[in-house]
Homo-oligomer: A and B are copies of this chain.
Amino acid sequence: MKLGFVGLGKMGENMVENILAHRHEVVVYDLSEEAVEKLAGKGASPAESLEKMVAQLAVPRVCWLMVPSGEPVDRTLDSLLPLLEDGDVVIDGGNSSYHDTVRRSKTLAERGISFMDVGTSGGLEGARNGACMMVGGDREVFLSLVPLFRDMCVSGGYGYMGESGAGHFAKMVHNGIEYGMMQAIGEGFDVLQNSGFVFDHQEVARVWANGSVIRGWLMDLVARAFEKDGELGYLSGEIADSGEGKWMVETALEKGVAIPVIADALFRRYRSRSKDNFSDKVVAALRHEFGGHGFTPKEK
């Protein structure tokens, strides 16, 4: 296949290399000329603008977007749409909100353009060597793109999730599960760390990664992290979040589904970034008021 690819960040770059390795043709565009040139050096056709990218594609055109979710996607679509025509396909491979996807697919459909949402998992390594893709949108278009998905993904690692939005919805749920799993793993090692035994975290993770019920890629990665430093002394405990966990909890509220574990995992991330947490201060103050219990004075 031949396709246009917009957005050459960490994920995008790895995906383009992956596609090229499978002998597809890719016309690449990014706001960063450097990023474009870098991939040109690896076999991609560089484009200086969206116009020039589109001009190199034969109809029906396939354009893959790999840009940050939210406004950047809308902005890219605004520029791209006037250049496309009936029958073309736009793929959003990023972490977009499924609400946005449903909205965008309607707008594009009005112009005869198919909008496919592809939730992509597997990290940078997956992007380069074999990812997992959850695809939403028109089923016929999905089928026409299977040769691409088959090459970009590990065996069995792609599938049709349903109508427009279902791909990003599945990715959001995937990330929610991921939050819960990671928190459970974190809690486990915290108990080991405070056990009174002298555990070698790297050794524990390595053993668990092989043959246990909880084996899987996350455990492989824990083992790898502890290989670098068994006490993780190089980083602080502040955990960032990129928003998909938040969408997951919002969606559960919207649908009335109880997800205590995934929500708690998200809240622990918020808590990890909260210095001098006000909730905790209120509780400490309350204890002092009713019981005359002492408190830890604020550090100067």
Residues of chain B within 8 A of A81, CB atoms compared? none
Q: Which among B126, B181, B203, B289 is the interface contact of A224 at CB below 8 angstroms?
A: B289
Identical chains bound together, number: 4
Residue pair A237, B281 in contact (C-beta under 8 Å): yes
21 contacts between A and B (CB under 8 A): A132-B207, A132-B210, A153-B210, A156-B209, A157-B211, A169-B195, A174-B213, A177-B214, A180-B184, A182-B282, A182-B287, A184-B265, A215-B217, A216-B219, A235-B298, A236-B296, A237-B278, A237-B279, A237-B280, A257-B274, A264-B264
B-contacting 9-mer, from A26-34, A36-44, A60-68, A247-255: A247-255
Chain A residues engaging chain B, CB cutoff 8 angstroms = 10, 121-126, 130-134, 153-163, 165-166, 169-170, 173-174, 176-199, 203-204, 206-219, 221-222, 224-225, 232-240, 242, 246, 248-253, 255-274, 276-299
Residues of chain B within 8 A of A264, CB atoms compared? 260-261, 263-264
Residue pair B211, A130 in contact (C-beta under 8 Å): yes
Given contacts A187-B176, A192-B170, A207-B156, contact A292 B10 (CB under 8 A): yes
Complex CA gap A271/B257 in Å reads: 7
Residue pair B259, A131 in contact (C-beta under 8 Å): no
Q: Which among B158, B222, B239, B278 is the interface contact of A280 at CB below 8 angstroms?
A: B239
Complex CA gap A180/B261 in Å reads: 7
Residue pair A159, B10 in contact (C-beta under 8 Å): no
Residue pair B122, A214 in contact (C-beta under 8 Å): no
Residue pair B124, A235 in contact (C-beta under 8 Å): no
Residues of chain B within 8 A of A165, CB atoms compared? 197
Q: Which among B125, B191, B208, B265 is the interface contact of A248 at CB below 8 angstroms?
A: B191
Residue pair A217, B213 in contact (C-beta under 8 Å): yes
Instruction: Please give the distance in Å from A22's CB to the nearest CB on chain B.
Output: 15
The interface centre, meaning the residue of A204, A239, A268 with most chain B CB atoms within 10 A of its CB, is: A239
Given contacts A235-B298, A249-B253, 18 further A-B contacts (CB under 8 A): A132-B212, A161-B203, A169-B195, A174-B214, A180-B185, A181-B185, A182-B282, A185-B286, A188-B262, A190-B257, A190-B278, A195-B255, A236-B281, A238-B284, A240-B284, A260-B260, A269-B283, A272-B280
Given contacts A165-B197, A190-B278, A197-B166, contact A210 B154 (CB under 8 A): yes
